[in-house]
Each structure stands twice: as C-alpha cells, then as structure tokens.
Structure 1
C-alpha cells in the first residue's frame, strides 16, 4: 500500500516513468508517431545540455544589488529585477513583506498551427531553460520577452517571431490573442501576450522544432515535466473548434446548462474584485530584510525556511541565443498542490473554481483552482486557516482522479518549480453551494472567459487545458445534443 507523501497525498503513480509506457503509433495525417517524437526529443536533450551551477551573488555577471534600494537588477535596466513588496490583506495573514520579481515587459507566447493532411498540428519548440529540472521541455513556437526579441543581450534572432509580431493577413490568421497573467505570488503584475496564429505550408519546422498533432500535444500533458508552463497557457486559450467536435459540444452545451449564467459569473467575479481589500506596494528590497527575510551570500530566504528563496546561477549552453550567462532565479520550497474538483450537474461536468486574491495580479482577484497551495507553507497556521478542500483532495482515491501529473513552472525565472496538478471528481452528495469565494462553472464558461484577459490565473489555465483532454468532458454534453 502506498503511504501518503509529505503533502498528505498519495504519491503520483507515474513518477518513475519519463515517457509513456506505450507510445501511440502515428494516426492518419500525423507527421510523426509518438515513438518517433520521443526519439527526436532525446536527441534535442543531448544537443541542448546546459550546465547550471548555483553561485554566490557576488559572482553574478551583469547583475548587482542597487546601492540606494538594494534591488537586484540587470545593469541594462531591462529583463527583470527582484524588489520588495508590502502586502496588506483582509485574509488570514493581515500584513507581510516579501521579495517579488518585477518584469514590466510584455512578452510573446505564440503557437503556430496549421492543418496537415486534414489534422490540426502545432509547431512546438524543444527549449532548454536554466530552471528546468530535466533540461529540455516543449515550449510554444515563440517564447520570448521583449528584451529577448529586441536582442538586448546581443543574442541571435528569435525564429518565427514575425508570424506573431507582424502577421501577414494574406498568409496568417490570428485565432487567439489575449494578455494573461503569471504567478501572482511571485511576479508583480507580470503579463504575457498569448497568441495562436494559423500559418500556411511555407512555415517549416526548423532544427529544434517539430510539428505535432493536437492529439499528441494534449496527450503529452500527462507526461511529467514535458509541456512547459508557456505551452500550457497558450493551449488553454486555443479556440474550441480546433479540439474537435466533442470538446466544442462540451463547451457550447456546458455554457448553456451551467448552474450559473455567464452574466451571473461575470457579476460574481466583479463583485469579488470590488469587495476584497488587498493593497500591494513595491518596496526597496533592502526594506524586506529583517522582516522575516534574510540575505546571505548565496540566497535570500525566509527565516522559517518556507515559501521560496532567491538564488543565483551560472549557465552555459551551446544552443541558446547567448552561450553563457548568469542570473537570479526564484527557488520554491516544496511541490505545490493544484487541484480542480469536478462534479456533474444534469450530466454536464462542472469545475469548482475559486475567486482568489494574489498581491501581484493587476486586478487582484482571478479565478484559481479549487485548491492552490504548497501545504508546508500552511503548517504554522491554525486549522481554520488551512486551505479549504485540501482534505478532500488528500482523501480522494485513484478511482476518482481523472488527471494527476507533476508539471514544471516557468524555467526562465524559477528554479525547479513543480506542482502536482489534479482533477478529481467528487461524489454526488458533495455540496452544491459553497462559500462566496467559490462557484461551479462548465468547461464552456471557463474557455469563454479565456477569450478575454485576466480572468483565469496561470494555474487554472493549465487545468483547463487538462480538462479539455478528458473524454468525460465531451461525453457528458454529447448526451444533450
């Protein structure tokens, strides 16, 4: 019998499997089989090997602690900086300070798609990031900050960038284009432009790129640490019609049969944004020191050893825009638990989402998974302030678990940041009504909100992408056609 892990959950059963045990052969119209893809990826792993070495802050090249503020910043004034943040909140912890990453630039996360032999394919990139646990992961066609594609670092040009910066209406069709947030506890008002652009046959896969069918990309969501965070957020914004009839029926039908109308949902979100009292003010980083945080030669850490640390790394790579560099990274402590509880109402699958306030979000409140936490960070709080519904997640068995995969977060800013993503179907007697911070929503309502900016946080967007892969999502609504 498996014993619960430190988080109180049963261990992830596929943790020892780097690839699927039985890759699916190529189906009609696919460019390559799953087995051929994993052979290709293994080759990219070898060619993109990076050497990442933790270093003291004093060895950072191009980065310094500013004399007046203590902020950790690049000498160019570009890329990003580490500053301090003071937060006052009406939540269980009324006030705290913390370091936070400030990256005001809006980057581009772009996915090129095209139909090949009647099948929707995505142009994916094998990309190595210094914070990735396993080196290479699958990223979107373009994943670049403005500093990167403006070549502030003097590096090489970003391939396929013109498809997204300057799409040609004669050859390109923009299918999705929204601004979406990133982690509101680690980033201050960070946003990226999430784009899906349909291209023509003239766009060929370069050396580090491959065309994968949407079926393959969706199935690879279940492989640990394979699809990076930027791929997952763009996937969530992809139009339903590209996913096939089953999902389109699920979205459209679910939107009409939700427990709450679309107008009621938007009113609820606006109300929560208006009622929550959260004030977040940037501070000089040196003012955070001594308020629970301490700066050492090689890290900035919390006195309890919780939350995260700011560290420095030296990186060398033969396959990046710049062959060698150093940079700070945020290193989380512990693997997070991100769980979406789902339940059927009149045969339609609904997800229980939370209006969750995070200090780094532009609109403070965005929709989050039912459970979003790193359990160790709550160990010092009383029982009434433990994450709601975490006990339900811990007590759920494999027969109720529809999705369970450990996935990495953004490896360009975070060091070995991983979360366990779960979708768990609850029993029929699970309460329909909850507190004011929670609502049941259909897949269609969630994907409808993703046509707009700043409604779903980055963790919820991964779970929406995962929810679209469930056969249950399509089958439930197909019965109501």
Structure 2
C-alpha cells in the first residue's frame, strides 16, 4: 500500500468506537443532567455576553492597511491578515475571479478532553463567547486557540487545559488530524483537531466548562446555535463506525475512493495566488468603511470593536467576514444493501491546500441566486422543497464566530430519494459511514461543511 495513502483498517480503533457508541446511548443523564446543564449554560450566556459594535476597517485599534498592498494586518504581526486572492478554476462556473480572503498561516489547536466517569465517557466542553456568534456563548471544544493565542501574542491570560494537548502520550490520543477550514474564506488554513483522554487523576473544572456525555452533545447538536463549528469538526473525527474492513458493504472500495479524489485533484486545474487587497476587482469600500462586492453577493469584510468577559483578552478590535445570507448544507443518505451511505461531492475551493476536498451533497448560500444572474447549484430546489418526513436532521448552526460575523448555516440530512441522487456521477461519491470515519483519521479529505454534517450523523446513535 502507498505509505502516503490512509491505512483504513483499525482493529485497535474498534473498541474505541464501541466505547463512544455505548456512552452515546446511555441516556440523557451523565455526571450532569441535561436539565442542570441548561440552567448552567443559560447562566454562562447571560454572564459572558459580548458587546460587539461595527467600526470602519481603517479605525480598528491595532490594525492597519499596508500603504502599498492595502492588506489589513495586526501591529503584532500575528493573528491573521486580510489580503487578496487571484483564483483560476477552468472547469468551474466562473473561470477566473479575485476576492478578499483571510490568511492565517499558523496552525491552531481544537481539542476536546475526554474522561470516563462510572464507565461512561464524558467530554469536557466549554461555554465560549465569540464576537461573531448570534446569541453569545456556544459550546466549544475544551481548547480552541490559535497559535497567537496560546503563545501569548495577545498578552492575555493563559489558555486553560492547553497542557493536555501539547504533547499527549500516544495511548491517550483518541483522534488527531489536521483539518481544513472554509476554503472560500480562508487561504490554506487548517487546525489540529484532537480528542485526548485525560489521565486518571482528577481534572479541575473551571466555571466556563462542563462534562457532558457524547449522547448529550449529540442531542444538543439538534438545537440551533448551541454547539459551535469548532466543536462539530472535532466531534466528526471521533472513530464512530471505525474498525475492521471499511470496504465491507460499501458502494466503492477505498482504493476507488482515494483514486477518485486523486483524479479530481489532478484534473480540476484550480489555482490560487495571493494578491494585494488593493488589486482585487469588483470589490469596493462602502460608506460605512467595509469592503463589499459590487453585486452585493458573496460576503463583506467588516470591522468590529469587541468587549466581553471570560476571555483571555477582555477588549479588542478586528476585521471579520460577514456573508450576504445564511448558508445551506445538505447531506443525502440512503442504505445500499444493508449499509448506510452518504453522498459527498468532490468540491474545489480556492483556499484548499489540495485544491479539492469532499463536501456535502449540496453546499451554497441561497441568497447568491435570488436575482437569477448566477445559475443555482444542483439539488437546491429539491432540498428547499423537501417534506419534513424526508428530513432526518435539520438545525441552523453557526460558523466559526472568531472570524465570521453572524455566519449561520442550515444543516440538513435527508433521504436521497428526495433528490433523485446519482449513483455514477463522477463529481459525487457514495461513502459508507466507516469509510467516512476512515478518511477523517487523516487530513484534508472532508471539508468543514461536510464534517459538521458528519458530526450531526452522530444523532443516529441516540436511543
């Protein structure tokens, strides 16, 4: 086997997957009942409310535009830069375009700490407020930190529980992989997604943290704007359905799956190069000091001033991306034989390191197609018209609130029969759940929208 390709048989992972499934099915009460959790969480939302006010990009404290390129960066040289991107996609609906994009070359840590209580696995979740969140605090991983955060560039407090994730013993690692972020808004950004089991000694629980079972977290995933994007991407990496031979009962073998992904990366022709922000075409400054596309579609780059409590830093300013409307991501599922499968699409985005990753069956911002100028993507009308009885999961969930302002996506899992979905379209792949879990052991195979929906598939484990 090619050493650069994933090894997808995990005999040692099967017990881990069984333990997670068993913990997910233990019912609604863990060491803390869901009713007690809701009381605690409501208190965190009240106490950790952020005050976020819009501000012109050229008036943000600590941020400035480079006089030559127009790129917007922080005075420390850390955090991130808003620059321009020249994108070329010969096979795409638009062959060439330029746009603003966030460049953040450092790798952050998204880590969830796990521990057994009375034989049931629990996950240490954090109530964390982000400036882009609609309703304040959401459940985030134990550690959600950029390298600038945890190395102290912001001169704030130390990141709690970071020590469990910096050099964990191999036998305590449940999941560990580099995963991409939004490829249309980030330039080659990825984070380390980790689940690490705590040692036997007690773990102190700080006031913004709470132990929940996987089943409790999966139940909360079904509620709007509760479990944040960073928690969802880490949850997707849990070894659910892993172990044994992933080809058993699958529509395609893993060899075929990997070959299809490789072939798509070779033929897509997607290229992207950094461009001075001042040189992007059809994007202009507004009267309010933001940057917006002349059509009003896609997104805007805005500035915000933030004041909050419970964070490493209490007050700061920053640029953010504000989408033109809510997103829609849908995953079609069906049984092939006796094996559940999901339909994923080979998707090119300019910010991906590998050019192409597997995305959901449908991924779009419907508002971009309201005026009829752009052709709507395949399946948009069918997903929008799907009857409730055909929908297995439906919740509005927030995107990453540290960089995106009020960015929300309706995440839907629905029966494939609604879409009349293809079995042999070269842009789509039917993958069994063990195959998806196998790919998520490795880096840059599923995009963040697909990973959010994979996390939501965990609700199928509930009794």
TM surpasses 0.5: yes
- Aligned match of 1:435: 425
CA distance, structure 2, for counterparts of residue 444 and residue 184 of structure 1:
25
- Structure 2: gaps (5+ residues): 1-25
CA distance, structure 2, for counterparts of residue 373 and residue 431 of structure 1:
17
Structure 1 residue matching 2:417: 3-state secondary structure? coil
User: Contact 2:177–2:441 (CA<8 Å) still a contact in 1?
Assistant: yes
Structure 2 residue matching 1:451: 3-state secondary structure? coil
- Aligned match of 1:306: 297
The counterpart of 2:318, out of the listed 306, 322, 327, is 327
CA distance, structure 2, for counterparts of residue 27 and residue 265 of structure 1:
36
- Aligned match of 1:260: 252
Residue correspondence of structure 1 range 39-58 to structure 2 within 5 A: 39-58=39-58
Residue correspondence of structure 1 range 132-281 to structure 2 within 5 A: 132-167=133-168, 173-200=172-199, 201-240=201-240, 247=241, 255-281=247-273
**How far did 1:276 drift?**
0.3
With over 3 angstroms needed to count, the CA separation of the structure-2 counterparts of 1:93 and 1:29, relative to structure 1, is closer
Structure 1 residue matching 2:404: 3-state secondary structure? coil
- Structure 1: gaps (5+ residues): 1-25, 241-246, 475-481
Structure 2 residue matching 1:469: 3-state secondary structure? helix
- The TM-score with structure 2 as length reference comes to 0.90
1:344-389 CA deviation, whole Å, 9 max, x = no partner?
Answer: 1112221110000000000010000000001221345668x42112
The counterpart of 2:402, out of the listed 412, 418, 429, is 412
User: Contact 1:293–1:303 (CA<8 Å) still a contact in 2?
Assistant: yes
Structure 1 residue matching 2:446: 3-state secondary structure? coil
Spell out structure 1 runs of 4+ moving beyond 6 A: none
CA distance, structure 2, for counterparts of residue 28 and residue 183 of structure 1:
33
- Aligned match of 1:101: 102
- Aligned match of 2:10: none
The alignment status of 1:359 with 2:350, answered yes or no, reads: yes
CA distance, structure 2, for counterparts of residue 356 and residue 214 of structure 1:
30
**How far did 1:59 drift?**
2.4
User: Contact 1:402–1:470 (CA<8 Å) still a contact in 2?
Assistant: no
User: Contact 1:336–1:374 (CA<8 Å) still a contact in 2?
Assistant: yes
Residue correspondence of structure 1 range 80-99 to structure 2 within 5 A: 80-90=80-90, 91-99=92-100
Tell which deviates more after alignment, 229-238 or 86-95: 86-95
1:95-138 CA deviation, whole Å, 9 max, x = no partner?
Answer: 11100000001000001001111111000001000010011000
User: Contact 1:29–1:117 (CA<8 Å) still a contact in 2?
Assistant: no
**How far did 1:429 drift?**
9.7
- Aligned match of 2:3: none
- Aligned match of 1:6: none
**How far did 1:141 drift?**
0.4
CA distance, structure 2, for counterparts of residue 311 and residue 190 of structure 1:
20
With over 3 angstroms needed to count, the CA separation of the structure-2 counterparts of 1:414 and 1:28, relative to structure 1, is closer
- Aligned match of 2:119: 118
